[in-house]
Chain A
């Protein structure tokens, strides 16, 4: 219906937009001098890291900023000026000419009403239709977004739907009154990668069925490569570079754009290369650092039922080897990581750390083996005690397991800080005074405090910005090469895992689906699920991604 490459009539025109927020009587700029154009039928991606102002810019269009914001400049949507418009005008525009899809569908829906009710509300706000007609239209919309059994789902509450279904419902709600502009704010960030692929397919499909222009806000360059026609890169509230998808990816002009593109893990680009300085290999094959045999973990999920988080998994991590454990949410990968350190009890099977059977050891018995394992956690916000200076957090393992004096401990902490490329002066800072990347480095320093033979990293970079993530991953890779510790690297992100791992293990619903050397698993997976998982990961290269997409859809059609 709409040819995306045709120059459609300009739908959205933003000129010299400035947005400031008042905090403690000071006005802080969030968006500076932005010019932007979006045509009908086009997908424009606003890309940036946290603090870039992309979300602020998008929310300013329908006038959804907080009360302490003020803006100057012009926002014209289909000819009408929205900047500074009064509340009545904006209320009329919202929903009927602008639809918004938010990031977290669970909280974006009102939990006490059915999704049918909420979609009908969206319709009745702007259309004078009877209740029956509104209901019929709502079912139609759910069908449009490929919701299974749409009429039945109308009466479901948000918490009764899966994440993907909720997002579909949110899209249906946003499209209720045929808006000219659809704003999608990180619509797939909270979803698993396979579900993400489906939602992206849906969005792309909608472009042909519906006349809306789509403004997509995201930090994920893979998603951008998959779906965007044009891209605007933002940093610190200003536009760094903009252009068509093809030119931006192939020939980025600005240093920041180049940095972003270089930082994104690109599936298929192999392991990160660093100077290898590992100790020479042992003459006799050493004991594996971690060995799980038929490990099963069950939890009680009610008075009579149990839930199997981990189901008969057999996995080994050799000394000095990096194994990437990959899976979507609910796959059990985190539980497995915890079981490896005795944080979770195995229901059956065995766990060996460097040859020692820790399956049934008491907390006291575990102390010895645990001294040789370091753990890095995902959330830099909660992995450090907020009331302890970070130096103390790093020193805790030393204090617990060795007899070093305070002076010796401090010396060791300084040594570790240097290894993670942080200044010694940070030793007495508190976590909230450090950035996410710095906090994560502290977490790594703590994990390395006792020269562990095994490091378990549970999504260590998932909460970090792309450029920060790249640096932390590189650090991990260098440290691993330098010290030669074994590493179990847990992540949902295949591309990230590829950068570090010698071998990859794929988990799904508690079971180990496939494992093997990284290259062979990624290039010639033996299992169907693995293949689908790999196919669903969007790569930050439009042509490459288009090709992968065709292949994926062809495979799905033929099944």
Chain B
């Protein structure tokens, strides 16, 4: 794995074990995770870009500042123009800031369901997609093909998982943040569909590692399995509590999962709210 440092020369990322990697939240860096496939960003937000023989396919611009930094990072790797920007999903903390790529003529792509959200919730820093897809698709540019995979509603209802053909790396935004429990209130998640999606990804062959929308530059497939097992454990625990007649307030105060899950990042901060979220899922179908 080759690592290109874009912003802070003193930071060196290596393929060291997770525990040994820095948890510096804000230092952005570029990591080549497969030939021509780069993980770019910081712990706070991360995107993928793909350098092909005919130009670059970028993904989530995140914000105007991040997009400018990412554009500079791309220029460190290649002089080719950015031809496409693909949105993983509609949430502003990933989709904003694309204008710098629009200005150089990039074509923006998303799942069609993102459009409804972008229209309902306009944002001045959002570039509207030029093309939309409604099911699994392939985007070919030069010598590379980026597969865009749609699993239905899960985190929002326009989430795409991506993979450059011939590589063993997926780009999975927000559905898994490696070794973390994620946000407790689970914005916009349909928990049942989310679990289904994670199971489908786990069962899918042809990949061994992934780039997440937050967190470390690249993580092994087992981090997805861990998130899936955490979600299963959480949902089972809450379902059992409801079946036993436990009130939400009591569950909120007493929820505790097995030790393997308590060691996940963010557990102490988010577990009560996550239990509350799942409680509502089972009591009102939301």
Question: Are these two chains actual partners, yes or no?
Answer: no
- List residues of A whose CB falls within 8 A of some B CB: none
